[in-house]
Structures are given as C-alpha cells and as structure tokens.
Structure 1
Amino acid sequence: MSLLQSFRNLSPRMRLGVGVGLLAWGVIGLQLSDRAEETYFKASEEEKAALKNLGPRITTIERSERR
C-alpha cells in the first residue's frame, strides 16, 4: 500500500489534522532556520571580501554602431 493510499484511507478529520500538522512543521522550520542562520553562520567582513573576489567580474564594452 502506497503512502498516498494510506493517507486517503484516513478519516477526513484525521487528514485535516495531518495537513495542518505538516504546514505547522514547515512554518516552524522556516522560522527556526532563519534564526539559526543569523546566530551560527554570520559571515565576517573578511569572508565577505574573499567571497566577492571569487565571483565573476563583468566588464561592459561599448560597441561601435555599424551603419
């Protein structure tokens, strides 16, 4: 029996509870991951400068118009 079939076999009230629980789990995860990133993975200015040097550099060149 597949997971979808097992879900469909639940009562409508239980399906609603499972859906709301999954949505709550996602919202809580998004909130906690943002806070954890701010707390534990804050980049220093030196790291930001090193990362900027690794990126591609784009130089624009004026093209002469052909007529």
Structure 2
Amino acid sequence: MSFWSAYKNLNPRTRALFGVGLMCWAGIGLLISPQVEKALDMVPTEEEKRELERKLDFRVVSVDREKRGGDKS
C-alpha cells in the first residue's frame, strides 16, 4: 500500500487535522529559525547579504530583431 492510498483511506477529519498539524509545524519552524541560526552562529554577514542580492538581481534587456529578408533598416 502506498503512502498516498493510505492517506486517502483516512477519515476526512483526520486528514484535515494532519494537514493543520503540518502547517503548524512549518509555521513554528519559520518562527524559530532566526533564533536557531543565531545559536549556531550561522547569521549571514552584510557582505554575504550584498553578494546574494547581487546574484538575485536581474534585468530584462530587449534586443531588436532583424527584419526578414536581410533588410536592416
């Protein structure tokens, strides 16, 4: 029996509680992750933040297409 079929065989109320429980677990993880990073001394420096911002910065550049038939006017 696969995990999906076992999940689908659960009572709908149980599935809903399971989903809410997973969302709560994820929310708790998002709330405590900054404290865990500080405790493990994994806080990024300002230089690392700037480097990440530079890598994530993108620009869209438009390039004019040449007309068909070789006419470059």
Q: Please, what TM-score do these two structures have when normalized by structure 1?
A: 0.57
* Partner residue, 1:20: 20
- In the alignment, the residues of structure 1 paired with residue 44 and residue 11 of structure 2 have an alpha-carbon distance, to the nearest angstrom, of 48
Taking the aligned partners of 2:45 and 2:12, their CA distance within structure 1 comes to 51
Question: Structure 2: which 5+ runs fail to align?
Answer: 52-73
Structure 1 residues not aligned, in runs of 5+: 53-67
Q: How many residues align?
A: 51
Structure 1 residue 38: deviation in Å? Answer: 3.1
Runs of 4+ aligned structure 1 residues displaced above 3 Å come to 42-45
State the one-letter code of the partner of 1:42.
V
Identical amino acids, percent of aligned pairs: 38
Greater relative contact order (CA < 8 Å, ≥ 6 in sequence): 1
